[in-house]
Structure 1
Amino acid sequence: MAIDFDELVHAIGDAVVVSDAAGAITLWNAAAERMFGFSTQEALGRSLDIIIPERLRKRHWDGYHETMQTGVTRYGTELLRVPATHKDGRAMSIAFTVALLKSGGTAPDAIVAVIRDETQRWNEERALRKRLSELETHGA
């Protein structure tokens, strides 16, 4: 049985986002629509800035452009956890891995990120840390 990779990408529960060498979004699956609130039509061709908090953009782009120049990323097998922004402006916490896509040359042509929304888990952990701190400060 041959696998239809386009169908797989759009059926998977995690967001799959592909961006070209300049950082323009070239693939935005249904899970990305649900997660970030932008339709595929709204996202395609736009900069990844639509989901990157403004305060983190310089750091993101410095790393992105270095990765595109060197063809090396440390995040291929390492889970990266960072803040993100939803279309409605609310803050999110996401975790993702990336892979470099090359069409034959040594330099990557695109980057694919497989992303999971961890906002609820992050908020629960923050509440637990706050409660633990309160208990340590005031006694049980």
Structure 2
Amino acid sequence: METSIDFEQLLKAIGDGVVVADARGNIIFWNAAAERIFGFTEQEAIGKSLDLIIPERQRQRHWDGYQKTMDTGQTRYGHDLLRVPALHKEGRPLSIAFTVAMLYTPDHKVSAIVAVVRDETARWTDERDMRKRIAELEASQKQAV
């Protein structure tokens, strides 16, 4: 039995955001989940710089790492989850987690980077609130002693 997979259909349907950027950092693929996470439609995102979703204070660090990855063809985020701040279209901050994969030209140069993205804003907020509550409880116990 022969099975063929329509990979474009798969990437468009998957529940995690899939964002592909070319070697210059311009978005060349944006699925429905990326639209849900970041608020930008596919039409608004395609052809734009990744700066669209990167907070200004993170941009230099991002582009330094991006260029190093383009130059070396190496990243440690292919297997390790990277958690970073991001921006929603409305300007509100997001906390995202993602892994990346690189796409190569036939002569083995990096041509694009694929990021598989998940919105972790609610989890991050819950953890921050829990840490704050624990600190308050510890402080009140120290005062009681």
Distance (Å, rounded) in 1 between the aligned partners of 2:82 and 2:58 = 14
- Output the amino acid matched with 1:104: P
Deviating above 3 A after TM superposition, structure 1's stretches of 4 or more consecutive aligned residues are: none
Report the residue type matching 2:52 in the other structure.
I
Residue from 26, 42, 45 that aligns with 1:40: 42
Give 1:52's aligned residue.
Answer: 54
Query: Which has the larger Rg?
Result: 2
TM norm structure 2: 0.95
What is the alpha-carbon distance in structure 2 between the residues aligned to residue 105 and residue 35 of structure 1? 34
Alpha-carbon separation, structure 1, partners of 2:8 and 2:47: 18
**How far 1:107 moved relative to its partner?**
1.8
Alignment RMSD, CA only? 0.9
- The equivalent of 1:77 in structure 2 is 79
Note the residue ranges of structure 1 that are not aligned, 5 or more in a row: none
Q: Give, as a single letter, the amino acid of the residue that structure 1 aligns with 2:96.
A: I
Determine the C-alpha separation between the residues in 2 that align with 1:126 and 1:85: 19
Q: 1:24: which partner in 2?
A: 26
Structure 1 residue 106, shift from structure 2 partner: 2.3
Describe the superposition over 1:59-96 as per-residue Cα deviations: whole angstroms up to 9, x where unpaired. 00000011001111111100000000000000000000
Give secondary structure in 2 for the equivalent of 1:89. coil
- Write the distance in 1 (CA, Å) between the matches of 2:62 and 2:7: 28
Counterpart secondary structure, 1:109:
strand
Unaligned runs of 5+ in 2: none
Q: TM-score, normalised by structure 1?
A: 0.98
Partner of 1:8: 10
Q: Does 1:105 align with 2:120?
A: no
In the alignment of these two chains, the number of paired residues is 140
Identity percentage of aligned residues? 64
